[in-house]
Every structure is written in C-alpha cells, then in structure tokens.
Copies of this chain bind each other. A is one copy, B any other.
Amino acid sequence: MGRPALLLLLLAFLAPGTSVVPRRVLRTLSSLHLPTSPASHSSVAKKYSVFYFQQKVDHFGFSNMKTFKQRYLLSDKHWDKDGGSILFYTGNEGDIVWFCNNTGFMWDVAEELKAMLVFAEHRYYGESLPFGNNSFQDIKHLNFLTSEQALADFAELIKHLKRTIPGAEDQPVIAIGGSYGGMLAAWFRMKYPHIVVGALAASAPIWQFEDFVPCDSFMKIVTTDFRKSGSNCSVSILRSWDAINRLASTGSGLQWLAQALHLCSPLTFEDIPNLKEWIMETWVNLAMVNYPYASNFLQPLPAWPLKVVCQYLINPSVPDSQMIQNIFQALNVYYNYSGQAKCLNISETATSNLGSQGWSYQACTEMVMPFCTNGIDDMFEPHQWNPKKYSDECFKQWGVRPRPSWIITMYGGKNIKSHSNIIFSNGDLDPWSGGGVTKDITDTLVAVTIKDGAHHLDLRANNALDPTSVLLARSLEVEHMRRWIKDFHDNVKRQP
C-alpha cells in the first residue's frame, strides 16, 4: 500500500512554527498496536476456512445499492452446538489472516468454550475493499470507512451466519478484539447488545479522545517503560535528540549520521524530522511489544526487548558521536535482531499487514487521538497538541475535517455505565493503557489489569514464559465468558 500521504504530512511538520506530534507517528501509534504472536509460537494449530459475505457499501442510506465482499475466516473444529458459543473477532485496521494468526488466545480457549471461531475483516483493510483498488482514491470512495459501518458489517455478518449455519441460531456470540479491534468489540456490545452477549476489549483505548486523558499520558508511559528497563535509558534517549540536531547542522555531520545509523539512503537536512519520527516510532513500537518472551513482530525480537535495547543506553553523558552509535545499537535490536538487515530504512517501521492509508483516513475523521510531549515528563522533544493544525493537515491530505467529538456523541465517552458484559483488559506496560478502562465501572463492566503486560498480551497464545498476571487475566476473562454463555443457554431453556 505504501504511505504516500506521509511525505505530505512530513512537509507540514517541517513548516515554520509547527509543533504538533507528526501524523506519521500518530498513525503508527494507532496502527501498530496489534497482536503479533506468530503462528509458529502457538501450540494450537490454526486451521480455518475463508469465506466472503456480500455487504452493503452503505448501511445507513438507501440510495447507494452497491455491495462488496467482506472476507471472514471460520473454524468450527471445537464448536459444539450443545452449550457452545461463537467467538467473533471484530477485525481492526489490517489483514484479517494476520490477526487470526496472531490471536492465539481464541484458539487456545476454543475447546473449553466449545466455540466456533470467526474472524471478520474490517472494511477497507486486507481484501475487504469496497471499491477494490479505487477504495482510497478520494473521499467519495472513502466515505464509507467508519466504525459505524464496520459494526453494521459485523452485525449483518453474524445474522448471516445464524441464518445459514444450522445450529448457530441458538448460540451466544462474544465479541473479541484488541487495540482498535478491542474498541470495536466494546462498542459492538454497547450498540448491538441483541447480537453479542458480551465483549472482551483488550488494550482498547476508548478514552484516548478529546480531553478524557492528558495528551502526554501515552508518551509518559513509553518513557516510564524505558526508564524501568535500564539505568539512564530514558535520559540517554532524551539527550539523543540534541545530539542528532547538532550533528545535522553540518553537511559532514549529516553524512556521518547516515553512516553511523547504517541508513540505506543518505540524509539531507530536510530528512531530519523524518529521521527523528522514525526513531520515536521505533521506541513506541518497542514499548508496545515489550513481551516477556522472544516474539516475532516486524522483525524477530528477544524476550523483554526493552531491556536489551537499554543495555546500549546506560551512559547519557557521552559525546554526540558515541551517543549516536549507542542509539544505532539500540535501534538495531528492533530492526536487525536476526542480523540479516544490510541497512536501516527510515521509511519503514510497520508491517504491510496493516492498512496505513485506511487508518490515516480514520485518524482524520472519527479517530482523533490527541498526543503531546513536553521533554520534561517524557524522553521526547516537546510537541504540542494542535487541533487546528491537525485538522488543516487532514484537509490537505484527504479533503476531510475531523469531528473529534463525534466518537463521544456516538459511543458515550466516560458515561457508559448503563451497558453490561464488557471486559476491559490492559497491561500496565502498554502505552495505550493510559486511554483504557483500568477500573471496574460496574459489576459487569470490569477492568482486568495485567502486571508486566505490554499491548494486549492476554490475546496472545499461551507461552511458558507468560507471567502469572496474564494467566490470571485470561482465566478471569474465560470465567466471565463462561458465565455469559451459560446465562444465554439458561435463558433459552427457560423460554417456552
């Protein structure tokens, strides 16, 4: 898919007086927070069938009669119509096969919950493109990329499954998702409680909007993760930005920088913001996937990767050249743990399984998450949150203006206590936990906190190195789901 839009945003970032967090990072924050356990790590084989369901392009109007094919994956190996269930993954901003292969938790609990597994792809991602290659052409084609349309797709798909699969009609459906998918799972239960009996919303930052959380909370958590992972680690990173700035101020310094960081292309002065964003993005990614065992995200990573990274950043008081060499070693953990990379490419941090165009548009319409840094409470250069500039950039890039308050109007913001049967799980290491629900709201809107957990660790497959906290979290989650399933079947039996 590429990311042509980013260049444009980059220019905006370079303009005099701009001091917003670059959209490039925002997009990545949003699109990289995904389950990443590779299929090979799971003890459970993932065998599924691929299907396509004809969806209306526009559920909310009648003049557009167009349809498109939504992809979904289905596994019924452990499904038992007698007391069983349907676990429904509410696909987020990427290829559904990738999510399916990286949500080991569902595969691990399928047998216990006698569950059919369904993984539904989100429109405008993977193969589920409403207008094929033209889907991102202009706002006319992008107009149907909203969370509301995606939830309606899920609702129609579940109705279709219940209509067409014998025995599915009388089965409780539970929505499960992580990150944006977790937000969708929670919202799905809120808006369609007649279709799903409950939701597991893992690492779902449903409050990372408007002024519900301070805009610096995300980056503060990233910083804390680094601070805790090695002596002087965050201080070193904080000081590295000035080192880069100083080196970038001369032609020879730029040349040296590119060489020291083993970049694939030479650097110009204009590339420096891009370089810094790329490094920033890398630290953020590392904080999100700071898992207790070796995992394979974009690149293979060791267990507790932040600790490994921070081994290179123990001395903040070194000359600029040494600082950059240390930073390179640290970056190299993320980009070259396997030792295969010949050079580092500053235009790449995310897997192509993610739909960067789609998320960029969503971030410019409904999903406006304010971020900022101040360089004091965090290890980054100061960037203010500037809604006006953000909106202008969105208009330049997509021709749309964000409506930041719409998501609150639609889904209730902090006032959600009248809903029920939603589990909000959050790892305390996860930067996104700042925007998540980390305290029980009611008896049936419960928060599960995972000590030493990074981004939705609970949705990953079981692993021998899992901390007790995540084992406990998963067993709590299963306990809630078992109760929802039992309540559903008890209710069915009670009816005449």
> Residues of A with Cβ closer than 8 Å to B?
59-65, 139-140, 142-144, 146, 148-149, 152, 155-156, 159, 191-195, 365, 399-401, 403, 405-406, 409-410, 412-413, 415-416, 418-421
Contacts and interface: CB of A to CB of B under 8 A. Distances in A.
19 contacts: A60-B60, A60-B61, A60-B146, A60-B149, A61-B144, A61-B146, A62-B142, A62-B146, A62-B400, A65-B401, A152-B409, A156-B409, A159-B409, A192-B409, A193-B418, A194-B413, A194-B416, A194-B418, A195-B409
Given A156-B409, A159-B409, A193 B419 contact: yes
Contacts of A139: 62-63
A156 to B, nearest CB: 6
B191 A191 contact: yes
Contacts of A63: 139-140, 142-143, 399-400
Contacts of A140: 63
Contacts of A192: 409, 412
Contacts of A399: 63
Given A159-B409, A194-B412, A194-B413, A403 B62 contact: yes
A142 B412 CA distance: 28
Contacts of A418: 193-194, 420-421
Nearest to A56: B403
The binding surface of chain A is classed by DSSP as loop
B400 A365 contact: no
A420 B442 CA distance: 15
A401 to B, nearest CB: 7
B416 A365 contact: no
A399 B63 CA distance: 8
A65 B63 CA distance: 18
Nearest to A59: B406
Contacts of A156: 409
Contact of A64 (B59, B143, B159, B405): B143
Given A61-B143, A156-B409, A194-B415, 20 more contacts: A60-B60, A60-B146, A61-B144, A62-B143, A62-B400, A62-B401, A62-B403, A63-B140, A63-B142, A155-B410, A159-B405, A159-B409, A191-B191, A192-B412, A193-B412, A193-B418, A194-B413, A194-B416, A418-B420, A418-B421
A239 B420 CA distance: 55
Contacts of A419: 193
Contacts of A412: 192-195
A148 B415 contact: no
A365 B155 CA distance: 18
Contacts of A406: 59
A348 B144 CA distance: 41
Nearest to A406: B59
A419 B403 CA distance: 28
Q: Which 8 A-B pairs have the closest CB atoms?
A: A194-B412, A63-B139, A194-B415, A63-B143, A193-B418, A61-B143, A62-B400, A62-B365
Contacts of A365: 62
A220 to B, nearest CB: 23
A421 B61 CA distance: 29
Contacts of A420: 418
